[in-house]
Amino acid sequence: MHVNLRVLGKKKQGLAFLALQLVLVGLMYPFMEYGPDALPKPPRNRSHPALSTNTGDATYARTIPNDGPNPFYPTYQDVHVMVFVGFGFLMAFLKRYGQSSLGLTFLLGGFFTQLALFAEGFAAIASDNTNGTAKISLSLESFFAADTAVAAVLISFGAVIGKTSFFQLIVMGTVEIAAYTLNRHLCLRVLKAIDTGGSIVVHLFGAYFGLAASYASYGRTRSTNSKRKVRRLDSSYNSDIFAMIGTLVLWLYWPSFNSAGLSRDLQTRAIINTMISMCTSCVLSFACSLLLSDNDKFLMTHVQNASLAGGVAIGTVTGLMIGPFEAALVGSLGGIVSVLGYHGLQPYLTRRCKITDTCGVHNVHGLPSWIAAFYSAGLAYTASISDYSYSLYELFPARAPSPGHELDLVNAAHLLDIPAGESRSAGSQALHQMASLALTFAMSITSGLFAGALMRIPFFGSVPDDQLYEDSVIFDLPSGAEDPDIDTSRIKEDRRESSLENSAVQSTRF
């Protein structure tokens, strides 16, 4: 009996993927539990004789009002929409890969949300477990942390989209979740750097992890600029509209992403700063696109992506007292740098360095995150208690007085709710910001190269050169789903190019 080895290999991948999911389900029983906010509580809005107060001839029953819905849920849901809807549609610009862009975003989001809950939970247990329990306590905040980890994976996905099998993406994301969690712990808990909107630990990490994985898994042995591949990278009128939906979703909800971890005046300030920065990056992306285009028209690639750069560029410092003027400048710079990246840097990286970046994540997430990191170091160096009052120690926890620090009575009254810090100076905080940047860059590159090397193992599958950026590689498409823009006269040319490239690959593979 004839056995199709390729089909058998895919069945093995499916069984392995099923086994991974069952392992996660099994681990939930011994290691996960509801957090305090999700545990049953007695009713708090009923009168009770024990709560009554006798005042003369009348007895007044005191009632405790119901707490109401969780106030964090709307912000969490905003971020959830960004991750599953915004990223999915943004990456649907490829005219023959839209179904895969949306479907794989859904798959990766569902799987890696679970894995991130475990990774973040075990990291929290290892770092500050004080009650002796080995259980992961689940809350909306833990799901928000998981969503930010998934965002890093989806950013990396944008660099390799269309060039990998689904199981290669699972391998890449598994390595990334582990490396991301470790790097985040080192940056935010050990170095105690500030990164409110995740520009360093999420955007910079995700961008350079993806670029390194793309290079290690694909770029070293394959041509990246053949005519056939360039044609398959084209968008269509409809696919650009779908991608613009993703842009608008991300643009509208980005203030929630940048302000979710803050409260009171800090959150309000973060929302204001983010909106100003994103408005200016939007306008500058249009302006620069017009200036750099050959026919004095807007390019959808710039509009869809560079308009989001302001949210990344302002993310690390979004809660600080930077003022509307500086927020506008940061957003403008982010938009300009992003368009210039698409116009000049990305083609250079593809041609010279063999680093393919399908969605241009380096331009949207990588380059603006450097702006955020350097800007955060400068603001940390100049931040003082005269500018922020005692909220300085909420923004920079390490700058709070250490346990043995002398405080007068007035200061002590203000600091009752602020945890003890390290009495870190402004200059030291600025150095720690730069250290977190260097660490994140090194961790992302190293772990990305490792993930890319693993992705080359034959068991995880691969995408043949003549099927890159094709939905049919992953999904069973309905009849009539062929792209009407495809010129059938090019089929023989494509096959000939594929044969020549495969011969070149065999001669250079090692």
The pLDDT tens digits of the residues spanning 418-460 come to: 777 788 899 999 999 999 999 999 999 999 999 999 999 988 8
DSSP one-letter code for 477: P
Compute φ and ψ for 90, nearest 5 degrees: -60, -35
Q: Is 230 helix (H, G, I), strand (E, B) or coil?
A: helix
H/E stretch holding 155 reads helix 140-160
Query: In whole angstroms, what is the distance from residue 113 CA to residue 86 CA?
Result: 16
DSSP strands (E only) in 100-235? 136-138
Question: What DSSP line would sit under 114-151, residue for residue?
Answer: HHHHHHHHHHHHHHH--S---PEEE-HHHHHHHHHHHH
- Report residue 322's pLDDT band, with 50, 70 and 90 as the boundaries: very high
* pTM higher than the cut 0.95: no
Structure confidence at residue 502 (pLDDT) = 47
Query: In whole angstroms, what is the distance from residue 162 CA to residue 231 CA?
Result: 13
- Alpha carbon 204 to chain centroid, angstroms: 9
Compute φ and ψ for 330, nearest 5 degrees: -60, -45
The closest of 160, 154, 167 to 109, measured between CA atoms, is 154
Mean pLDDT for the chain?
Answer: 83
> Cβ-count burial of 107 within 10 angstroms (0-12 exposed, 13-18 middle, 19+ buried)?
middle
Structure confidence at residue 401 (pLDDT) = 80
- Alpha carbon 451 to chain centroid, angstroms: 17
The total of other beta-carbon atoms located within 10 Å of residue 172's CB is 29
Is the Cα dihedral 119, 124, 126, 129 positive or negative? negative
Q: Which amino acid is at 247?
A: T
Query: In whole angstroms, what is the distance from residue 408 CA to residue 417 CA?
Result: 16
The domain made up of 73-127+136-385+424-460 is a member of CATH 3.30.1360.80: no
Structure confidence at residue 90 (pLDDT) = 93
The closest of 159, 148, 143 to 83, measured between CA atoms, is 148
Structure confidence at residue 505 (pLDDT) = 39
292 contacts 339 by C-beta, under 8 angstroms: yes
Query: In whole angstroms, what is the distance from residue 333 CA to residue 94 CA?
Result: 28
Q: Which amino acid is at 30?
A: P
The pLDDT tens digits of the residues spanning 156-174 come to: 999 999 999 899 999 999 9
Crossing angle (nearest 10°) for helices 166-184 and 140-160:
130
